[in-house]
Amino acid sequence: MPKGGARPNSGRPKGSLSEATKEKIKVEAALHVRILGAVDRLFNSQLALAEGVMHLYRVDETGEGKNKRREHVLVTDPTEIKEVLDETDGAGGVVDETYYYISTKAPDNKAIDSMLDRVFGKALTKTEITGPEGGDLKIQLVQYARPVQASKKA
C-alpha cells in the first residue's frame, strides 16, 4: 500500500452513528419523556399566560405611629379568595377591616399565537412581489446544458 490515501474498510461503517450522535439521541429521548410527564402543567401554564393572570393581594398593617408599615401579601388560600370576591363582587376593597386589591397581567400574545398554531396550524403568510412602479414582474428562466462526460472503459 502506498503512503497516504484512503484505505479499504477503514473508518466508521457507512450509515452508522458516531458516539456523540448516539449520546445526543439518548439525551433527547430522556428530555422528551420528562416533557411528556409534565405536559398538563406546561399546557395549563401556557393557557394562563394566554388568558392573562389575576392576583389578589391583602394589605397587612404592622407597627404603630412612625413604625407603621404596610405589607402587600399575595393571597393563595382559595377560601379567603372566594370570601373576598363574594363580598366585593370581584372588585376588591375592604373585608373585615382588611384592604384587598386585584392586580392583573395582560394576556401574552405569543402564548396565544403558539396555542392557536398548535390547534389550527400556522397561518399562511402571503408576500406580493411586483415589478417597477407596481407593474408586472418579469422573470427569465435560463437552462444550462450539462456537459457530457466521457465514460471510461477498462
List the pLDDT tens digit at each of the 154 positions of the chain.
567 777 888 888 888 999 999 999 999 999 999 988 988 888 888 888 888 888 999 999 888 888 889 899 999 999 999 999 998 888 888 999 899 999 888 888 888 888 888 888 888 888 888 888 878 888 888 887 776 666 665 5
Query: For 74, how many CA atoms within 13 A lie in the half-sphere containing its CB?
Result: 5
- Looking at residue 152, what is its pLDDT? 60
Closest CA to 77 of 56, 48, 93: 56
Distance CA 151, CA 154 (A): 10
- Looking at residue 100, what is its pLDDT? 92
Closest CA to 47 of 113, 112, 118: 112
Distance CA 53, CA 134 (A): 46
Domain ranges of the chain: 19-119
- Looking at residue 129, what is its pLDDT? 83
DSSP string computed for 103-133: EEE---HHHHHHHHHHHH-PPP-------GG
Residue 112, C-alpha cell as written in the block: 396565544
- Taking the model in full, what pTM does it have? 0.45
- 3-state SS assignment for residue 12: coil
- Looking at residue 44, what is its pLDDT? 87
